[in-house]
Structure 1
């Protein structure tokens, strides 16, 4: 294999460096790395697969439907990515240039295309975690039987049918072992020039147990410096340590059996310690930019919305994504009397503010000049606030920086630059408060949801063999679009 890419969803270099992963650490010592910066509004895997930011491939974690409502979509698929992007997907680019590929479990790749080589779609996108392998998710289709006989699992999501943290983590490790074995077996049969295998489910461990992971790393470092014997505090720590040992063994097995000439390790984002939770709607309300509704007003609004949905269903005019993929602001605010509202609970870790403009939401702010003036005023007010200063928060214009981009209208007007350790949502009515889940983890999974003690971080894993350094140019973006550039240049150079 000429080039191998190992993807680790939520891949975090400090975790790999700190956990008992001797083989992977030995590779890193002889490799180069870069500190990338993801804005966490743009999906990292989509950037790596197209070389484009969400402003041009529509790969947002959350975006307004822009139809006069306050409905937002969390839907994104390979079909969306292909139709929106101006570039070819990585696998199609390589196949057209006579480069054989072997890709397993990379998100946003299904249904799979006919390629020179093999593909197994990544989890998500409606694929069930267990059961039969869906049609269209494996190419060549003849390999579908191999996956089914091997007990292939596409994905595991919390709680994964389990009641305890330990069983959940063990289930993840079992699923990733099967995925690894399938990748190795297919690669040995097909001998592709390019391989890309993703350990997607490891991110579930990190969202859930990031606090315990950090405790383990600290204890391991203390043992190394003091020469003592490492001992876990509890069963959860034992299973966490075992997960990373098995991840290291899987990486070792792939490298030893496929012997790649060059390699890359990437994550779609990192996983940060989730220490604080923020709610920008509280700040907007206190400053007069947002007016919350009374209990009576909330009741009336819910009734109207129920009737509207019934009517749209009857008329069959509702073409939005299915209800499970629609997000609405948690804060109940007046549409007529609110000038702005904040981003809310979503799958990213992005903090921003949407101007309540007429064009997208039917709000009171009309015209580009009014929007720009309001953006500047909010940023000025936010940046002198003592709480913003205390927690290292800074508001800057965001949407206007992407002038002319095809999907600029889907962006927040303001981005709040912040530490990754502060996750913004609208779940608690306080500008900044401590995360109550940032503490030792108990075994029961009852009532646990994400993010728990870990959230997406902006500095994804990005490590590569030193021979790839010459493929990086000074003007290349310092985010995951760089992945696409390195890979395509690598095989263009060999042509």
Structure 2
């Protein structure tokens, strides 16, 4: 294999350096690395697959429908990515230049395209966690039988049919083991020049158990300093250590069996410790930019929306998209008296503010001049707030710096620059509050939901073999679009 890309969803250098992963650590010692910065509104894997930011490939974690409602979409698909992007997806670009590909479990690759080589689409995108092998997710289709024989699992999501954290961790390790074996089996059969295998489910471990992982890293460090062997405190820590040992062994197995000439190891984001939870709507309400509805008003609005939906269905209208794909602001606010509202619970880690404009939401703010005035005023007030200063929060215009971008209208008007450890969700009515889940995990999974003790971080893992360093050019973007550029330059310049 000429070039191998290993993806680790949520890949975090601190974790790989701190846990027992000697083979991967040895790779890092002889490699080049880049410190990337993701804004966490744009999906990292979509950036790596297209070389484009969400402003041009529509790969937002959460975006307004911008149809006069306050509906937001949490869905994103390969078809949207391909149709929105001006660049070809990496598999098409390489195939058109005579390069065969072997891609397994990378998000936003399904349904699998017809390629020179093979693709097993990544989990997500409608694939049921723990289910069988759906049609259309494997190319060539004949390889579906191999996956079935291997008992291939596309995805595992909490609770994964398990009652305990330890059982959940074991299930993830078992699924990733089968995925890795299947990738190597097909790669040895097809012999693609480019390979891309993603350990996607590891990110589920880190969202759930980031606090326990931190405790393990600290204990390993302390034991090394004292010349002692690390002994886990509990069964959860024991399974965490086993997970990272198996991940390291899997990476070693792939390298040993496929012997790549060059390699890249990347994450789509890192995983940070979730220390505080924030709610921008609280600040906006206190400053008069957002008018919260009374409980009675909120009840009336909910009832009106229910009756409206029933009436539309009675008149032959279609059912709305699945509730899991459409989200609405958690805060019930007055549409006519609210000038701005904050981003709310989503699968990224982006804190921002939307101006309640007439074009996107049917709100009271009309025109660019009025929008800019409110943006400037909010940024000035927010940045002088003692609480913002205490927690390192800085508000800056965001939407306007992407002027003329195709999907600029889907962006928040303001970005709150912040530590990754503060996750803004609108779930709790306090500007900044401690995360109650930042503590040792108990074995029971009853009532446990994401995010728990880990959230997306902005500094994804990016390591590559030394010979690829020359393919990084001055002016290249400092995010995962860089991966697309290195891969394309490696093959197309070589040819």
Give the alignment's TM-score, normalised by structure 2.
Answer: 0.99
Deviation digits for residues 446-479 of structure 1 (CA, Å, limit 9, x no counterpart) = 1111110000000000000010000001100000
Q: Which residue of 2 aligns with 1:336?
A: 336
Shift of 1:160: 0.6
CA RMSD, 1 decimal: 0.9
Given the superposition, is the C-alpha separation of residues 330 and 489 from structure 1 closer, same or farther in structure 2, using an over 3 Å criterion? same
Does 1:293 pair with 2:293? yes
**Structure-2 change in CA distance of 1:479 and 1:314 (3 Å):** farther
- Residue 405 of structure 1 is matched in structure 2 by 405
- Asked if 2 retains the 8 angstrom alpha-carbon contact of 1:349 and 1:423, the reply is yes
Residue 472 of structure 2 corresponds to residue 472 of structure 1: yes
Change (3 A) 1:39 1:320: farther
Give the corresponding residue for 2:325: 325
Offset of residue 310 of structure 1: 1.7
Alignment of 1:368-447 (within 5 A): 368-447=368-447
Query: Would you say 1:453 and 2:453 are equivalent positions?
Result: yes
**Does 2:132 match 1:132?**
yes
- Pair 1:39-2:27 in alignment: no
Moved more, 81-90 or 320-329: 320-329
Task: Give the drift of 1:434.
Answer: 0.4
Equivalent residues in 2 for 1:339-350 (5 A)?
339-350=339-350
CA deviations 1:324-372 (Å, max 9, x no partner) are 1111111111111010000001101000000000110010100010000
The alignment status of 1:228 with 2:213, answered yes or no, reads: no
In the alignment, the residues of structure 1 paired with residue 224 and residue 242 of structure 2 have an alpha-carbon distance, to the nearest angstrom, of: 18
2:83 corresponds to which residue?
83
Q: Distance in 1 between matches of 2:313 and 2:108?
A: 29
| C-alpha separation in 2, matches of 1:466 and 1:308 | 61
8 Å contact 1:73–1:321 — kept in the other structure?
Answer: no
Equivalent position of 2:213 in the other structure:
213
Residue 298 (structure 1) shift: 0.7
Structure 1, 309-318 or 146-155: larger mean CA deviation: 309-318
How far apart are the structure 2 equivalents of 1:144 and 1:106?
A: 17
* Cα shift at 1:321: 3.5
- The question of 1:362 aligning with 2:362 is answered yes
Q: Is the 8 A contact 2:130 2:160 kept in 1?
A: no
1:423 to partner: Cα distance: 0.2
1:49-198 → structure 2 map (5 Å cutoff): 49-198=49-198
SS at match of 1:423: strand
C-alpha contact (below 8 Å) 2:276/2:433 kept by paired residues: yes
Give me the whole-angstrom Cα distance separating, in 2, the residues matched to 1:252 and 1:435.
Answer: 37
> What's the offset of the Cα at 1:311?
2.7
Instruction: Check whether the contact 2:132–2:153 (CA below 8 A) recurs between aligned residues.
Output: no
Cα offset, 1:395, TM superposition: 0.2
Equivalent position SS for 2:111: coil
Displacement of 1:309 after TM fit?
1.7
Between the aligned partners of 2:71 and 2:202, the Cα distance in structure 1 is 31
CA-to-aligned-CA distance 1:20-60 (integer Å, 9 cap, x gap): 00000000000010110000000000000000000000000
Alpha-carbon distance, 1:73 to partner:
0.3
Give the CA deviation at 1:320. Answer: 5.7
Contact 2:349 2:420 in 1 (8 A): yes
Q: How far off is 1:225 after superposition?
A: 1.0
In the superposition, relative to structure 1, how do residues 316 and 4 fare at CA in structure 2: closer, same or farther (>3 Å)? Answer: farther
Aligned equivalents of 2:319 and 2:93: distance in 1? 32
Q: How far did residue 314 of structure 1 move? A: 3.7
Cα deviation, residue 313, structure 1: 3.2
For structure 2, list consecutive stretches of 5 or more residues without a partner in the other structure: none
* CA 1:150–1:121: 2 relative to 1, 3 Å: same
Q: In structure 1, list runs of 5 or more residues that go unmatched.
A: none
**Whole-angstrom distance in 1 between the partners of 2:269 and 2:417:** 16
Aligned to 2:23: 23
Deviates more, 1:320-329 or 1:262-271: 320-329
Shift of the alpha carbon at 1:229? 1.9
Aligned to 2:486: 486
Deviation at 1:316, TM superposition (A): 5.1
Q: CA deviation at 1:491?
A: 0.1
CA contact (8 A) 1:75 1:321 kept: no
Cα contact 1:210–1:273 (8 A) shared by 2: yes
**Deviation readout 1:253-284 (Å, 9 max, x if unpaired):** 00000000000001000000000000000000
